[in-house]
Structure 1
Amino acid sequence: MADTQKVGLAQRDIEQAIIALKKGAHLLKYGRRGKPKFCPFRLSSDESLLLWYSGKDEKQLKLSLVSKIIPGQRTAIFQQHPQPEKEYQSFSLLYNDRSLDLICKDKDEAEVWFVGLKALITRGNHRKWRVESRCESVSSDSPHARMRRNSPSITPCDPGDLDGVSYENTGQNRLGKAFSELLTYTAVSKGTSQPKSIVNPSLSTALVDNSNGRISASEGFRVSLSSAVSSSSQGSCPEDFDALGDVYIWGEGIGDGLLGGGVNKVGSQCSLNSKLDAQLPKALESTVVLDVQGIACGGRHAVLVTRQGEIFSWGEESGGRLGHGVEADVSHPKIIDTLSGMNVELVACGEYHTCAVTLSGDLYSWGDGTHNYGLLGHGSEVSHWIPQKVSGQMEGIRVSYISCGVWHTAVVTSAGQLFTFGDGSFGALGHGDHITSNFPREVETLRGLRTTKVACGVWHTAAAVEAINELSDSGTSANPSSGKLYTWGDGDKGRLGHGDNEPRLVPECVAALIEENICQVACGNDLTVALTSAGRVYTMGSTAYGQLGSATANGKLPTCVEGEIANSFVEEVACGSYHVAVLTSKTEVYTWGKGSNGQLGHGDNNHRNTPTIVDVLKDKQVKNVACGSNFTVVICLHKWVSSADHSVCSGCHNPFGFRRKRHNCYNCGLVFCKACSSKKSLKASLAPNLNKPYRVCDDCFNKLKKAMESSSVSQNSRARTGNMHYKSNGVMDKETWVPKLQATLSRLSSFGAVNNAESVHSRLASRATSPVLGTSSPIRSSEDFSEDSKRANDSLTQEIISLRAQVQELTCKSKNLEAELEKTSKKLMEVTAIAADEAEKCKSAKEVIKSLAAQVR
């Protein structure tokens, strides 16, 4: 049973690597002539071809023709322009007496490509071997069979190599260590052994296993999406139906805030000096390549679900709403380990809590239940920092839809029942009272009807409910079921659509939309949006910020939104606190309402009272849209870059010409004009010479600058203790270097990479005399052996950066509070002075009145 689980987990990690290959990346390609060139590479959707563009021409390599994959720079092509410092970022594919030689952005990206391609090549070789084995069984004495038996380079695969996976070796801590040890071994053997013994097919057994039987999704496949997300989606291809999901996000906290990959919290004083918001859509930055299928947003956190059923969360932590079990903010999507392997299908976010529904229909919730409103539905007010299954009355009931409001939650079952729990103020739960419920209760008024969708506002709720139409005289009905809009809760500003401001304690059908077939609903703070099956959008509620989408609507009754979407078929609607986003059948996104934080995506902070298309997303194939309180997010079908994408700048999107020259960024590999890539950096990952600054784009320059600043902090911290331990570490390195190397080689011998002990000793002996590795190999080995300490230093560095940020934030808060206190003190003194003056005036007036009264007498 354990072995079966191991196989499944490792296979899922290989699938994640293959997803990264399908999304593609810009790699440095070595050719037989000329200097290395940047080319966009990707794996075809059927996983049989490796595709890339060289200039305007698309080229491809059938993976079935690839005999083996070699890590490092071992081929003659690499020797034309050697870059030994990028040994760990390089690999070669051997096919038909030729080689395809590539250098990745960094070691982590190389690990992903190596593992994915190795698994696919091994799988293909195994299929070929099975076919050839059948042929041999028919004629085992044929010349072809005798040649195969006598050829040492053709080795049948073990059954365990079917997917490139074996689980015999459990001593590896992570995929990167196996990759490094493989390179160390091949580097040692380069001076004495022939290329034919570089890699044995069974070497793949080391590349997908660790001590836990799988590679952590957050460690094993760390790839920046900046190189994976294409700059355009021009030219729709037949692979759209199987395309991967990319995320674009904009609005409050998406710039330098935690939701956008920064370190600043929304509302913090330090955020006032930074560009906290993003006014235009930008690609979601992630440390893992994600195939996103669903997403939900809260006030200051978000949760997404991948095609593999894994769930990731990020943003500002508060009361455990991120589900990671710790009080720590997360700036990039991080997998929720508790739900790993649960096949999550749906997610929803409230202000203080989060919910998820698995494929089997089980409901899980987590977050801050200490507000005493029963937000989590577990029958108590206890906070849960990790996902907890909602049982009780929901036991055995399959959940099909979920919606979270600020103070309550609504659940739809597969049978069409509606359950609600949380704060019952204003009758938002629909149970006919104002009582708070900390466990799910069925809404009795809708019993017997079939609820399909539900949405929660702050103090009101809306649902799309199917009602069976009455039969005509002929006993038939063209439309046997029709969706009606039911609303209840706080009726202030007409948000319930009943023509008044009165609250409703139980669901009531909106009479104005009785003739419409409602299929989806969404709720803002004081707004309700309904979508019909005909693709029309109706809004009701407050007219603030133009959120009704019509300048003439009063909000008391539902109003059909016209404007730019009058002739469009709307497929999906979403609401933030005071803004609305819709997705049309043409994959266009329109927004309107409040724009103070750039949540409308038009490049400014202006409000819009009519639907306005988000121009930046015009060339994207958007398939879903969602809204947080003051930010918006969309899921787009991932599009492969074409030759047309190289004719425009990836930054400003202006076309290249005689005066606007094309330049590659030496960090991400994308093409930019001079204005968008005018800066240079010494830390560019794809730079040929690390001692010389190379051109990078503005985004990469800022990222590299931040990385250099963080590394300088870690160097200063290490400098204090480095001198104290230098001598002892030096002696220890000398004493332990050879045993560690021998241990490394002994582990590799279990992969089939070392044939016998004599070859090991001969390669070790030849190390000192090797003209190629006389200077570089010891450095690589010491770096390899100090990987654990580097990882520890990196984590300490991140902790220091986080603590410094907290100190800076608290300092800013303290200064601000002092300034406010000083202002308040001054105001108090002014008010006291005014009061004293008024008291004197009052006293004088009394004296005058007394004097006048005496004179009258």
Structure 2
Amino acid sequence: MASEFMKNGPFDRDVEQAITGLKKGTHLLKYGRRGKPKFCPFKLSNDETVLIWYTGRVEKQLRLNQVSRIIPGQRTAIFLRYPRPDKEFQSFSLIYGHRSLDLICKDKDEAEAWFVSLKALISRWNCERWVIETKDDKDFDTRAKHIQGDSPLAFPFYGSDAKNKDFQNIDAHEVIGFGNIFSDVICTGPDRSRISAGSIGTSSSLSSGGADTSSGGASGVDNSVRVSYSSAVSSSSYGSGDDFDSLGDVLIWGRGVGAYASHTPGNLHDSRSDLSSPKALESTILLDIRSIACGSNHLMLVTKQGEIYSWGEESGGRLGHGVDADVCHPKLISALSGITIESVACGEFHTCAVSFCGDLYTWGDGTHYSGVLGHGNDTAHWIPKKVCGPLEGLHISSVSCGLWHTVIVTSLGQLFTIGDGVFGALGHGDRLSTNIPREVNSLKGMRVLRAACGAWHTAAIVEVVDFLDPVAAAKLFTWGDGDKGQLGHVDREARFIPACVASLLEPNFGLVACGHDTTVALSTSGQLYTMGSNAFGQLGNPKSDGKLPTLVGGIISNSFIEEIACGSHHIAALTSKAEVYTWGWGANGRLGHGDSVDRNTPTIVEVLKDKQVKSVVCGADFTAAVCLHKCASSLDQSVCSGCHLQFGFRRKRHNSI
């Protein structure tokens, strides 16, 4: 069918290949009208007329000629009921009649393919319907206006002058552009300016062009698109427009990470050495890296396909392989095979992972048995185990790990904490510890966006609404131990329930990170505020006494900061120009400047200046960065240029550049 349509209209080869992929099928996250979203196998019928999926053993179908619109992002009533702002660029809805089929793909690659392919096929049906209806109609203008009013996709790619265009001779790119059309629709407005981190918590209208932007269609469709920081396309790709289609390398530096950057045989303890400059993680394969997380002496890696790998020093089961053995290089956690992992977080002795379905898995804690796993006991777990109890039926959006506690944020903005409460870091108004997730009641009625754990304190970005100003503002709340000023309150007293940082009421915040006794908050305008101990210069301002939050100045003040990370006593920041700055304690080379000298102001990591850095993370005393290794379209990467075989979940390094 696709090839037949190509002969009769503009339909480029990229779309044809994408449609072929849809026929093979994949699992998508389907939102129901009630209850929790579920993974279902979806595929396109061989004749390209029906979308087929299975709920349990029941086959369900949707004929594409019944679909009036395809909407990118999360704008329907169903999505608004169960929001996933971090999945904005992986979501779309099919509108048919007065109902919607709401789907989330596992990554942006997949979202591009499904959106563009279905858009083209739906447009084909609408165009064919239009041709039949207007075949002998003398009043073309009246008919065109009627169809455009009733069916937003009748002229999906053309304006009111569509009657003057030759359907057979239009350039394919006028009809549809495969590469970045899906994220461009969400990311850009009429001026096609890229959404940045400063757009957190704001609304952006969809632009006209490749995707439908009309307000008609099924009821309950929200025409403003809410974009979270993590889902915005990073400008770090220097205009590649497809940083999620690029291969990634992990560069690492700091205390004891030398063994990870070489193929040194033997015991990990014998081969560990410090690296004072970034060095690439050695591997015989090149993984499609989505994200990376670091603990005290272990690392976790999540691929774009949802696989999770771990390596480092084993202690109490934190690597998740079920054996008491160190691992020098990334090793797949087989216990989570078949589960698509979205994100991961590392504590000192435990690890947490969030699946694409919103389930939380935890493991480790076999060193101190501090009850941070949330399973209702202090027992260690050497392989991942799903957390149930109070979290049953809830969709988890993110998790953060401290030394002695864990903080969980749901997609509805609820906050749960687990672990040691002796200093009030759990936020329940007491010093009690808990080994099951417990909701922070004082934040009920507000929406928690993000949270971070320090050693004995916690920080969160919370949406609050002033009765005088109905627009929600994202403010910084802190609680727990405050003796070093890490809570940002003047008195440095401990707080046992979350308290808004009064001196930071003006800016809105998008990201927060915590060190051992430091808190770092990034505003939506790209400015960085620090508070807490300045013993090693980690506040980034040599004049700061730590009594109040300080604005980080110096050379970094001229840059727009997109990402922040904290180690125990050092900080790293990534700017919109893909530059990495570090400061704080410099022991063991953790700052990446080729020495072990402390820095009290942000200093650029020179070795990374020619790299396209996508993200930066900190372990307790080391640092890692994910750099784009190669920019290529997803079609270019589908087949190995060396052996000409299709790729699976891994890509051989002999095909990299």
Q: TM-score, normalised by structure 1?
A: 0.45
The alpha-carbon distance between structure 1 residues 262 and 423, as it changes in their structure 2 partners (threshold 3 A), is: farther
The separation in 2 between residues aligned to 1:586 and 1:246, in whole angstroms, is 18
- AA aligned to 1:540 is M
Quote the offset at 1:247 in angstroms: 1.3
- AA aligned to 1:255 is G
Structure 1 contact 547–579 (Cα < 8 Å) conserved = yes
- AA aligned to 1:634 is A
The separation in 1 between residues aligned to 2:497 and 2:606, in whole angstroms, is 42
Q: Aligned match of 2:405 in 396, 405, 408?
A: 408
Determine whether 1:247 maps to 2:250: yes
Q: Aligned match of 1:541 in 532, 546, 558?
A: 532
- AA aligned to 1:461 is T
Residue 599 of structure 2: aligned partner: 608
The separation in 1 between residues aligned to 2:373 and 2:546, in whole angstroms, is 32
Structure 2 contact 295–348 (Cα < 8 Å) conserved = yes
The separation in 2 between residues aligned to 1:304 and 1:670, in whole angstroms, is 19
The alpha-carbon distance between structure 1 residues 670 and 295, as it changes in their structure 2 partners (threshold 3 A), is: closer
Q: Aligned match of 2:612 in 614, 621, 629?
A: 621
The separation in 1 between residues aligned to 2:237 and 2:395, in whole angstroms, is 41
Query: CA offsets, 1:93-128, max 9 Å, x none?
Result: xxxxxxxxxxxxxxxxxxxxxxxxxxxxxxxxxxxx
- AA aligned to 2:606 is D
The alpha-carbon distance between structure 1 residues 263 and 469, as it changes in their structure 2 partners (threshold 3 A), is: farther
Q: Aligned match of 1:518 in 509, 513, 523?
A: 509
The separation in 1 between residues aligned to 2:514 and 2:261, in whole angstroms, is 22
The alpha-carbon distance between structure 1 residues 594 and 393, as it changes in their structure 2 partners (threshold 3 A), is: same
The separation in 2 between residues aligned to 1:287 and 1:380, in whole angstroms, is 40
Residue 564 of structure 1: aligned partner: 555
Structure 1 contact 287–332 (Cα < 8 Å) conserved = no
The secondary structure found in structure 2 opposite 1:445 is: helix
The separation in 1 between residues aligned to 2:283 and 2:546, in whole angstroms, is 40
Q: How does 1:194-593 map to 2 (within 5 A)?
A: 240=243, 242-256=245-259, 262=264, 270=270, 276-369=273-366, 371-471=368-468, 480-593=471-584
The alpha-carbon distance between structure 1 residues 364 and 260, as it changes in their structure 2 partners (threshold 3 A), is: farther
The secondary structure found in structure 1 opposite 2:610 is: coil
The separation in 1 between residues aligned to 2:255 and 2:566, in whole angstroms, is 15
Quote the offset at 1:399 in angstroms: 0.3
The alpha-carbon distance between structure 1 residues 366 and 359, as it changes in their structure 2 partners (threshold 3 A), is: same
The alpha-carbon distance between structure 1 residues 591 and 440, as it changes in their structure 2 partners (threshold 3 A), is: same
Quote the offset at 1:263 in angstroms: 6.2
Residue 68 of structure 1: aligned partner: none
The secondary structure found in structure 1 opposite 2:578 is: coil
Structure 2 contact 248–286 (Cα < 8 Å) conserved = no
Q: Identity rate of aligned residues, in percent?
A: 60
Aligned-residue CA RMSD (Å): 2.6
The separation in 2 between residues aligned to 1:234 and 1:359, in whole angstroms, is 25
- AA aligned to 2:505 is I
The secondary structure found in structure 2 opposite 1:616 is: helix
- AA aligned to 1:409 is T
- AA aligned to 2:551 is C
Structure 2 contact 369–380 (Cα < 8 Å) conserved = no
- AA aligned to 1:349 is C
The alpha-carbon distance between structure 1 residues 331 and 340, as it changes in their structure 2 partners (threshold 3 A), is: same
The alpha-carbon distance between structure 1 residues 405 and 264, as it changes in their structure 2 partners (threshold 3 A), is: farther
Q: How does 1:744-763 map to 2 (within 5 A)?
A: none
Query: CA offsets, 1:527-555, max 9 Å, x none?
Result: 00011000000000011110000000011
Quote the offset at 1:370 in angstroms: 5.7
Quote the offset at 1:237 in angstroms: 5.3
Quote the offset at 1:493 in angstroms: 1.2
The separation in 2 between residues aligned to 1:470 and 1:236, in whole angstroms, is 41
Structure 1 contact 253–259 (Cα < 8 Å) conserved = no
The alpha-carbon distance between structure 1 residues 450 and 669, as it changes in their structure 2 partners (threshold 3 A), is: closer
- AA aligned to 2:625 is V
The alpha-carbon distance between structure 1 residues 419 and 369, as it changes in their structure 2 partners (threshold 3 A), is: farther
The alpha-carbon distance between structure 1 residues 417 and 236, as it changes in their structure 2 partners (threshold 3 A), is: closer
Structure 2 contact 238–577 (Cα < 8 Å) conserved = no
- AA aligned to 2:622 is F
Structure 2 contact 372–418 (Cα < 8 Å) conserved = yes
Query: CA offsets, 1:442-479, max 9 Å, x none?
Result: 0011111100000001100000001013335xxxx5xx
Q: TM-score, normalised by structure 2?
A: 0.59
The separation in 2 between residues aligned to 1:371 and 1:437, in whole angstroms, is 15
The separation in 1 between residues aligned to 2:656 and 2:388, in whole angstroms, is 50
The secondary structure found in structure 1 opposite 2:543 is: coil
Q: Higher helix proportion, which one?
A: 1
Structure 1 contact 373–437 (Cα < 8 Å) conserved = no
Quote the offset at 1:401 in angstroms: 0.9
- AA aligned to 2:592 is G
Quote the offset at 1:349 in angstroms: 0.3
Which has the higher mean CA deviation after the structures are superposed, 434-443 or 613-622?
A: 613-622
The separation in 2 between residues aligned to 1:239 and 1:619, in whole angstroms, is 18
The alpha-carbon distance between structure 1 residues 464 and 640, as it changes in their structure 2 partners (threshold 3 A), is: closer
Structure 2 contact 237–243 (Cα < 8 Å) conserved = no
Residue 637 of structure 1: aligned partner: 628
The separation in 2 between residues aligned to 1:358 and 1:235, in whole angstroms, is 30
The separation in 1 between residues aligned to 2:323 and 2:486, in whole angstroms, is 38
Q: Higher strand proportion, which one?
A: 2
The secondary structure found in structure 1 opposite 2:448 is: strand
Residue 179 of structure 2: aligned partner: none
- AA aligned to 1:572 is E
Structure 1 contact 287–333 (Cα < 8 Å) conserved = no
The alpha-carbon distance between structure 1 residues 670 and 465, as it changes in their structure 2 partners (threshold 3 A), is: closer
The separation in 2 between residues aligned to 1:624 and 1:235, in whole angstroms, is 14
Structure with greater Cα Rg? 1
Quote the offset at 1:617 in angstroms: 1.0
Query: CA offsets, 1:811-844, max 9 Å, x none?
Result: xxxxxxxxxxxxxxxxxxxxxxxxxxxxxxxxxx
Query: CA offsets, 1:269-297, max 9 Å, x none?
Result: x56xx7x0111111111243201001111
Structure 2 contact 298–312 (Cα < 8 Å) conserved = yes
The secondary structure found in structure 1 opposite 2:623 is: strand
Residue 130 of structure 2: aligned partner: none
Which runs of 5 or more residues in structure 2 are unaligned?
Answer: 1-20, 26-235, 633-652
The alpha-carbon distance between structure 1 residues 587 and 264, as it changes in their structure 2 partners (threshold 3 A), is: farther
Q: How does 1:129-144 map to 2 (within 5 A)?
A: none
Query: CA offsets, 1:683-716, max 9 Å, x none?
Result: xxxxxxxxxxxxxxxxxxxxxxxxxxxxxxxxxx
The separation in 2 between residues aligned to 1:521 and 1:669, in whole angstroms, is 38
The alpha-carbon distance between structure 1 residues 544 and 348, as it changes in their structure 2 partners (threshold 3 A), is: same
The separation in 2 between residues aligned to 1:429 and 1:670, in whole angstroms, is 46
Structure 1 contact 259–301 (Cα < 8 Å) conserved = no
Query: CA offsets, 1:719-768, max 9 Å, x none?
Result: xxxxxxxxxxxxxxxxxxxxxxxxxxxxxxxxxxxxxxxxxxxxxxxxxx
Structure 2 contact 243–631 (Cα < 8 Å) conserved = no
The secondary structure found in structure 2 opposite 1:638 is: strand
Query: CA offsets, 1:57-112, max 9 Å, x none?
Result: xxxxxxxxxxxxxxxxxxxxxxxxxxxxxxxxxxxxxxxxxxxxxxxxxxxxxxxx
The separation in 2 between residues aligned to 1:264 and 1:611, in whole angstroms, is 38
The alpha-carbon distance between structure 1 residues 432 and 253, as it changes in their structure 2 partners (threshold 3 A), is: same
Quote the offset at 1:615 in angstroms: 1.0
Which runs of 5 or more residues in structure 1 are unaligned?
Answer: 1-7, 13-232, 642-666, 672-857
The secondary structure found in structure 2 opposite 1:601 is: coil
Structure 1 contact 495–556 (Cα < 8 Å) conserved = no
Q: How does 1:748-827 map to 2 (within 5 A)?
A: none
